[in-house]
Structure 1
Amino acid sequence: MEFSNHTPFPALAFESVMPDGAAFHTIVLRQTFELHDGSLVLAQAQKPLATSDRFYGEPNRSSVAEESDLAPYKPLCDVVIVGTAHAPSGRAVPRFAVRAQIIASSAASGQMGASAPQVLLDRRLAITGPREFVRRSGLVRRASQLMTLCTLGLVRLPAWKLTSPEPIAELPVRYEYAWGGQCLVSANDPAAKRVPKEFLLNGQQQAEHPDQGDSPVAHMVCEDNPVGIGFTEPWFLKAVKPERIRAPQIETDGAPVTAQAWIDSLRGQPSRALQPVAFGVVGKAWSPRRALAGTYDEHWLAERHPGLPDDFQFGYWNGAPEQLQTPHLKGDEAILLTNLLPAGTTGTDSDAEGNTLLRIQLPGHLPMGWAYTDQALKFAPLLLDTLSIDLSDASKPAVTLVWRATFLRATGIQRFEARFIERSDINRVSALPETGVGIDLGAANG
């Protein structure tokens, strides 16, 4: 298929396959905006398409700052925020909240004159200062054991406690500060001899371990977030005998991390409080995202390789956490952010509690395309499936919109032209017949 880009934005066409082997085309286009005094304007220098994942630090040992734009299809829209949480009024406090909301425009939602706006997304997180899970002293533990015996188990004092958070003024809203992490014991650690045999890495695992310079004898990670803090295992506590474990500093607002939840996790009892939460991208190899990639086993090798497995789901390409995924946006929504910029930043407001409020109105532009067959010219809309807000530099906030169109190769499209119109022109353009080739791969994927 021939592709031409008649917009000022970077765009690309490429081909992929369905799990059933059917080939399809993807058109991806990226817009970069800058925020000036609370208003979005097109950046003079448009950022190129991201062709690979970019990490905050070492790849796969830190969280993803920006994911590749070259996803074949996203069934939902990812909302990703890169930035730092700032305490209200800029004063350090032990705990405060951050919030991200997306509101449908009145015209888009059909609620003109309605009293309540349509909230498409509302995510609140709690930020705390540094805190730790601390092992109680031996005397307290012995007293606890005596109390448990005397009360026939009715009263039990946990062996660990969670310290009160220290005051904090700001914190990156990244997975490095959320629940997760790893338990690792290196070969030269005195604790290595205390690791139970069933948790030791075998020879092949040690040979394949990425830390060849200092290969560990035991290594277990939190599958949901290997780069976080707080995660541990009973065997690790017995072998290493730590007195303190760093606790998560980002949690779901309304589901606080507690010492009891942490102790329950050691017993294999999951807790809503101990879930990785942040505003960033979930790693492709992390659970539960990894499961959406399907099953790569002997059946796949024998029957499917090099194609996709039967149970592959296109939701794998959605990198935002589930709570930050929403149906495809229209591009004219309002974004409301709380405490994600320093107090007093140009273009922000504050409420009675000193919270810093930022409102961003998406401009309503509409990338689209003309699809040519040997018989007709048809209108093909692009779907907005990635909204990225970069607040890492408070003086230069930026918003990126990524749009995508997909259609089966079998539909016979010979040429596709990427175009760009104002939303006011949509009624005139959409009166033309659509391609009939734009496909909902999520539905097709079952």
Structure 2
Amino acid sequence: MLHTNNTPFAAIGFEQWKPDGTPMACIAARCSLLLHEGAVHYAGTQALVLADEFAGDPHREPMLKAGDLVPFRPGADITVIGSAHAPEPAREFEAAIRVGPLTKRLRLTGPRHWVHDGHWRLSEPEAVTEVPLSWRLASGGRIVGDPDGDADPRNPIGAGIVHPLYTSEKLEISAPQISSAEHPLSLDPARPADPEGVGPVPPWWQTRARHAGTYDRAWQDTHHPLLPGDFDYRFYQVAPPGLQLAGYLAPGMMVEGEGLLPGAARFRFRLPDLMPFAKFSFTDGREVTARLNLDGLHLDLREGIKFDLTWRAWIPSCPAFYRIDLELGRWDEVMAMGLPVPGAEGLEIA
């Protein structure tokens, strides 16, 4: 389906059907870059992510990257993997990521516990210089002592939840080390606050699963294998709340980090001037050219500053659909072409 790729990106063409049965010709592209001495450079390897990637067991370890075989996202995702850093040992400190109009600020602490001495209370945190930005250290997790092994559907791998009936008062229960800087951590361990984080969210967690639609007997009998009629494309948004942009990213948008590098060093750069566009061709001679939506910025700060950008486009297909050719231009050049952009129903006038 993807015939020519005249960009340095990794890209793939594929077909997917909408819930109403409309076939869609889709293209997805990914570019890996790095920041070195204040300038953005292409990374050495450009590769697609064909399936979601995890740090280990998907039901125990955090998600690292989302797969690229996604037909459409209604907005842009910003995610970060790495650690938060304090300039010197501290019991508590803050870190933040800013992208365009969005700011996500977290409060981090050293290890601490829920302890029971007549009632559950938080112990004093240890002093640390680094806290991994892992969902394992956020609110949520399994209900400690629950015979059914139930867990918080918002974050099943979180620090753990105290249950008044099931949790032994003799235990020290790990408490969250990551919370919102704007909203204090709940002091009731049986009623955990909303999980806070910056990493990608797996598809079976509540924030995404609620958009997956209804898979009941009626769907199985009358609609399978199509997506259910109440499927919402927000299901494909992998960023946590607070890091989903209404609309899309754009070249030149500012990206800033605070407390996300060793020594709490700050970083700042602009998204590069990269604007891919695609020509969709049909055997009957029709041609449609469209911009791709820049729908993902995925920062990997584990070693230096690396990041992936993802783009996507789709149009309604038919038996006469033939091929996709991917091209790359500068922002001003491509904008001057007046190309349509992908929307929920297909192409829209920008």
Fold match (TM-score > 0.5): yes
Structure 2: 5+ residue runs without aligned partners?
Answer: none
SS in 2 for 1:130: coil
Match in the other structure for 1:116: none
Task: Give the Cα–Cα distance (whole angstroms) in 2 for the partners of residues 165 and 102 of structure 1.
Answer: 30
Match in the other structure for 2:34: 34
* Contact 1:21–1:307 (CA under 8 A) maintained in structure 2: yes
* Contact 2:314–2:347 (CA under 8 A) maintained in structure 1: no
Task: Give the Cα–Cα distance (whole angstroms) in 2 for the partners of residues 364 and 413 of structure 1.
Answer: 31
Kindly provide the CA deviation profile for residues 146-171 of structure 1, in whole angstroms up to 9, marking residues without a partner as x: xxxxxxxxxxxxx1111121111001
TM-fit CA distance, 1:312: 0.7
User: Structure 1 residues 127 and 184, CA, compared in 2 at 3 Å: closer, same or farther?
Assistant: closer
Structure 1: 5+ residue runs without aligned partners?
Answer: 104-119, 142-158, 186-198, 200-216, 266-270, 344-354
Task: Give the Cα–Cα distance (whole angstroms) in 1 for the partners of residues 217 and 180 of structure 2.
Answer: 40
Match in the other structure for 1:177: 137
* Contact 2:110–2:128 (CA under 8 A) maintained in structure 1: yes
Match in the other structure for 2:49: 50
TM-fit CA distance, 1:412: 5.5
Instruction: Say if 2:283 is the partner of 1:356.
Output: no
TM-fit CA distance, 1:250: 0.2
Task: Give the Cα–Cα distance (whole angstroms) in 2 for the partners of residues 276 and 176 of structure 1.
Answer: 10
Say what the alpha-carbon RMSD is for the aligned residues.
2.2
TM-fit CA distance, 1:410: 4.1
Kindly provide the CA deviation profile for residues 365-417 of structure 1, in whole angstroms up to 9, marking residues without a partner as x: 111112234344442100011111111113xx211101101111149543321
Task: Give the Cα–Cα distance (whole angstroms) in 1 for the partners of residues 340 and 173 of structure 2.
Answer: 57
* Contact 1:39–1:361 (CA under 8 A) maintained in structure 2: no
Match in the other structure for 1:367: 276
Task: Give the Cα–Cα distance (whole angstroms) in 2 for the partners of residues 441 and 322 of structure 1.
Answer: 25
Task: Give the Cα–Cα distance (whole angstroms) in 2 for the partners of residues 182 and 442 of structure 1.
Answer: 41
Task: Give the Cα–Cα distance (whole angstroms) in 2 for the partners of residues 236 and 242 of structure 1.
Answer: 12
* Contact 2:29–2:312 (CA under 8 A) maintained in structure 1: yes
Instruction: Say if 2:268 is the partner of 1:308.
Output: no
TM-score, normalising length: structure 2: 0.92
Task: Give the Cα–Cα distance (whole angstroms) in 2 for the partners of residues 18 and 182 of structure 1.
Answer: 35
Match in the other structure for 2:260: 340
1:257-406 matched pairs, under 5 angstroms: 257-259=185-187, 261-263=188-190, 265=191, 274-326=193-245, 327-343=247-263, 356-373=265-282, 374-394=284-304, 397-406=305-314
SS in 1 for 2:209: helix
Runs of 4+ in 1 over 6 A off after TM superposition: none
* Contact 1:223–1:287 (CA under 8 A) maintained in structure 2: yes
Instruction: Say if 2:334 is the partner of 1:426.
Output: yes
SS in 2 for 1:416: strand
Larger Rg: 1
Task: Give the Cα–Cα distance (whole angstroms) in 2 for the partners of residues 332 and 440 of structure 1.
Answer: 25
* Contact 2:250–2:271 (CA under 8 A) maintained in structure 1: no
TM-score, normalising length: structure 1: 0.73
* Contact 1:371–1:435 (CA under 8 A) maintained in structure 2: no
* Contact 1:75–1:441 (CA under 8 A) maintained in structure 2: no
Instruction: Say if 2:128 is the partner of 1:168.
Output: yes
Match in the other structure for 2:99: 102
Task: Give the Cα–Cα distance (whole angstroms) in 2 for the partners of residues 411 and 121 of structure 1.
Answer: 42
* Contact 1:313–1:442 (CA under 8 A) maintained in structure 2: no
TM-fit CA distance, 1:42: 1.4
1:78-89 matched pairs, under 5 angstroms: 78-87=77-86, 89=87
The percentage of aligned residue pairs carrying the same residue is 30
SS in 1 for 2:14: strand
SS in 1 for 2:303: coil
TM-fit CA distance, 1:235: 2.7
1:9-20 matched pairs, under 5 angstroms: 9-20=9-20
SS in 2 for 1:26: strand
* Contact 2:62–2:135 (CA under 8 A) maintained in structure 1: yes
TM-fit CA distance, 1:302: 1.4
**Structure with greater strand percent:** 2
User: Structure 1 residues 306 and 378, CA, compared in 2 at 3 Å: closer, same or farther?
Assistant: closer
